Structure 1
């Protein structure tokens, strides 16, 4: 069975989950997130699966299994599924991208690009952490995990600074590429 995977990357609160939910609801894509693998680990360790804890577990996981280690878990979920179309969110390292790209039939990576002030305004509604912490996470993701390199190797860029309607039109066009 041919598997098609649309990978989504971007900074925190760029709109990755919004797009994944849209593809799941409108086109019946199966939505997988790297944090699903981390949530499973948190459950095993009896740790609250919040964003900060998942980020720490991800760091530990990558130290133990390598920068592409989480992609192995994602690929196993893809292989076990009867679905043909997947949207995968949460790419943080180029090794994760390479692993998936090398093991599925069709893959495209989309960067969701959103202005920093737009992202912060979205995040503070849901998670009123300090602005300093929010942008510190950006720095860690880019410098320590390689997210900056993932953004560089994206096949397509989707700007997300306006309405849902505009965003969905852009996503529809990119979806047709796989």
Structure 2
């Protein structure tokens, strides 16, 4: 395989969704792990909502292993004809390990932002699975950290501080994606 694969990781509100939109504008394909979860839920006739998705993801990983969602993404990655592919939605080290074993050129990019900036973004975007309560936002952070995202962020190959403009974020990605040997 000659293409490069990058996983985007970060806490809720760090800017992963914004990053994927910017990357799509650069014609870089994005594989969203949540889409694989939704596909599995549809196959099993499970209603798709944030609580069911969270429970289903945990059950799937319990039944099929912590890298279950990563394994479901691999065929999609292999079918993309692009020099660069982005994976969005990694949650734990086992998924990282799976991709490192199965992809020759795999790196992790952590998108970072201070909690107060992330919480404000979450309240501003008004997505149905977002809370407007700081206590609930902190609980959500705890849930994310409990599935292993903290270790993944800590061990990332690249870090992007996303506390500025969209243009800054886009430029930081360009530096990494187009200058990475």
Residue 42 of structure 1 deviates from its aligned partner by 2.4
Please state how far the C-alpha of 1:17 moved relative to its aligned partner.
Answer: 1.6
Q: CA deviation at 1:23?
A: 1.4
| Equivalent residue pairs, number | 176
* Deviating more after overlay: 148-157 vs 41-50: 41-50
CA distance in 1: counterparts of 2:8 and 2:97, whole angstroms: 14
TM-score with structure 1 setting the length: 0.90
Question: Residue 165 in 1 paired to residue 174 in 2?
Answer: no
Q: Distance in 2 between matches of 1:46 and 1:133?
A: 29
Contact 1:41 1:57 in 2 (8 A): no
Summarize deviations over 1:9-66 as a string: whole Å, max 9, x none: 000121112112211211x211111101111122234344333332221111110111
Instruction: Write the mapping of 1:86-97 to structure 2, written as runs, cut at 5 A.
Output: 86-97=85-96
Deviating runs (4+, > 4 A) in structure 1?
Answer: none
Give the distance between the partners of 1:44 and 1:134, measured in 2 at CA.
31
Q: How does 1:150-161 map to 2 (within 5 A)?
A: 150-161=152-163
Q: TM-score, normalised by structure 2?
A: 0.89
Q: 1:48 to 1:123 in 2, by over 3 A?
A: farther
TM-align CA RMSD? 1.7
